[in-house]
């Protein structure tokens, strides 16, 4: 029963999210306890979390929770993970987390045991499936796999979805079980480093863009997201047709609020 951040440290934090107001007005604090943790694929750990505050909790597929993984002196260190599933009756929320190497989020995930506690805030996030889109294109790396699965599963049966996913290896692939007509292309990194834009940018240049007004969801490493966005813009997709979202930045830890750090 270990706290990710001891209560006495939490109480002394200089926390910009102490009050859930402004953009966080629709979120709630979630006092999570780990129910289970298991390796899902070689580079993905699945954690199931419960909290009394999940009673009546709702979210849109693609949204995430922000968890307080550590404290840096008096500064909170939070990380964001997509809500992969929610079982409202059991009050269990599932997150799938990439094992990429090291970082405060990853250290907490690797050490977490049933009964451990961590504070969360959610739901967060503004990228959802566009109900008006004629087709949906999801592109990104394995950090976006939970979001792409959650969003694809939420599409109606007559929707068309194409997923292009870069993962380290074939063993990191997962099933995508959705009612929608779904095509999935897996790109294997096979030793190339994560955050290398070449394969996803090349795929953005080649992937079929069906007729009609479709929507592209571009998620993952910041510069890879930018590269895909530029390629698709050159192919005629408008800003309104694209939802780019940087999840992490190569070679730089995310900022304390869980987003990729920006240059000052
Ligand atoms: C809205 C949102 C939703 C997200 N959903 C998920 C999710 O469902 N599952 C998930 O695993 N991640 C998700 N992420 C990404 C995750 O929050 C980041 O990867 C985060 O940086 C991990 O924190 P960390 O403390 O482990 O590493 P950090 O301290 O942030 O980084 C340490 C080092 O690791 C590198 N690094 C960080 N992430 C990765 C990665 N994925 N692959 C390779 N190298 C990396 C950094 O470049 C840095 O050098 C999401 C991010 C956002 C903004």
For residue 1, what pLDDT is reported? 83
Using most ligand atoms within 8 A of CB, pick from 100, 141, 142, 220 the residue to mutate for ligand 1: 100
* Helix, strand, or coil (residue 57): coil
253 lines ligand 1 (CB under 6 A): yes
pLDDT tens column, 136-185: 999 999 999 999 999 999 999 999 999 999 999 999 999 999 999 999 99
22 lines ligand 1 (CB under 6 A): no
Cα-based angle 4, 7, 13 (whole degrees, multiple of 5): 90
250 lines ligand 1 (CB under 6 A): yes
For residue 138, what pLDDT is reported? 98
Query: Which part of the chain is CATH 2.40.30.10?
Result: 7-124
Helix (H) or strand (E) holding 184: strand 181-188
Q: Give 1 or 254, the one with higher predicted confidence.
A: 254
The CATH code of domain 136-248 reads 3.40.50.80
CATH of 7-124, one of 1.10.150.130, 2.40.30.10, 3.40.50.2020, 3.10.450.50: 2.40.30.10
Compute the distance from residue 248 Cα to the ligand 1 centre, in Å. Answer: 5
201's tokens: 């940018």
**Spatial contact of 35 and 114, defined as CB atoms under 8 Å apart:** yes
User: Can you tell me which atom of ligand 1 is nearest the CA of 246?
Assistant: 53
pTM score over 0.95: yes
Query: Which part of the chain is CATH 3.40.50.80?
Result: 136-248
């Amino acid at each position: 029963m270990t706290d990710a951040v001891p209560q006495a440290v939490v109480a002394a934090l200089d926390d910009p999210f102490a009050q859930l107001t402004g953009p966080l007005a629709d979120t709630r604090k979630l006092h999570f306890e780990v129910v289970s943790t298991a390796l899902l694929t070689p580079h993905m750990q699945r954690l199931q979390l419960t909290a009394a505050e999940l009673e009546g909790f709702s979210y849109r597929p693609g949204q995430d929770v922000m968890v307080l993984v550590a404290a840096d002196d008096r500064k909170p260190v939070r990380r964001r993970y997509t809500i992969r599933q929610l079982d409202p009756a059991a009050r269990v929320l599932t997150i799938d987390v990439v094992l990429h190497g090291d970082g405060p989020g990853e250290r907490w995930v690797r050490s977490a045991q049933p009964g451990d506690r961590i504070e969360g805030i959610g739901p967060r996030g503004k990228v959802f499936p566009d109900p008006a889109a004629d087709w949906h294109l999801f592109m990104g790396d394995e950090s976006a796999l939970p979001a792409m699965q959650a969003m694809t599963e939420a599409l109606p049966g007559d929707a068309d979805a194409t997923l292009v996913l870069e993962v380290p290896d074939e063993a990191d692939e997962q099933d995508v079980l959705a009612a929608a007509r779904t095509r999935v292309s897996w790109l294997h990194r096979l030793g190339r480093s994560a955050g290398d834009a070449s394969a996803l940018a090349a795929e953005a240049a080649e992937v079929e863009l069906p007729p009609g007004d479709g929507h592209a969801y571009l998620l993952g490493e910041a510069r890879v997201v930018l590269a895909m966005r530029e390629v698709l813009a050159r192919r005629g997709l408008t800003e309104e047709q694209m939802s780019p979202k940087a999840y992490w930045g190569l070679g730089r830890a995310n900022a304390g609020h869980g987003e990729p750090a920006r240059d000052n």
